């Protein structure tokens, strides 16, 4: 759970986005099993994106394979 005003989606500089395939999964938690996720995990850095909350992240936030953040390089 994110505290009010702390979301990467709405908090400036608004760097967060959620990604999901158009079809093929019932639960977003299973997004990591898709071809789309595999491509994104391999190529996101090329476009200045990184996974916001990987498994066992230092923030204690649940694994969110759909939530990515823009990291200006």
Phi-psi region of 36 (alpha: psi -120 to 50; beta: other; left: phi over 0): alpha
Most confident of 3-7, 18-22, 31-35, 43-47: 43-47
- pLDDT tens across 42-67, in order? 999 999 999 988 999 998 988 889 88
- Residue located via tokens 């702390």: 6
Q: Which of the 8 DSSP states describes residue 22?
A: S
Nearest of 47, 58, 53, 20 to residue 36 by alpha carbon: 20
């Amino acid at each position: 759970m994110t505290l009010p005003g702390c979301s990467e989606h709405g908090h400036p500089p608004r760097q967060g986005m959620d990604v999901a395939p158009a079809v093929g999964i019932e639960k977003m938690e299973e997004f990591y099993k898709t071809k789309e996720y595999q491509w994104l995990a391999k190529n996101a850095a090329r476009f200045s994106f990184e996974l916001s909350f990987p498994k066992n992240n230092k923030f204690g936030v649940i694994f969110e394979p759909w939530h990515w953040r823009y990291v200006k390089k």
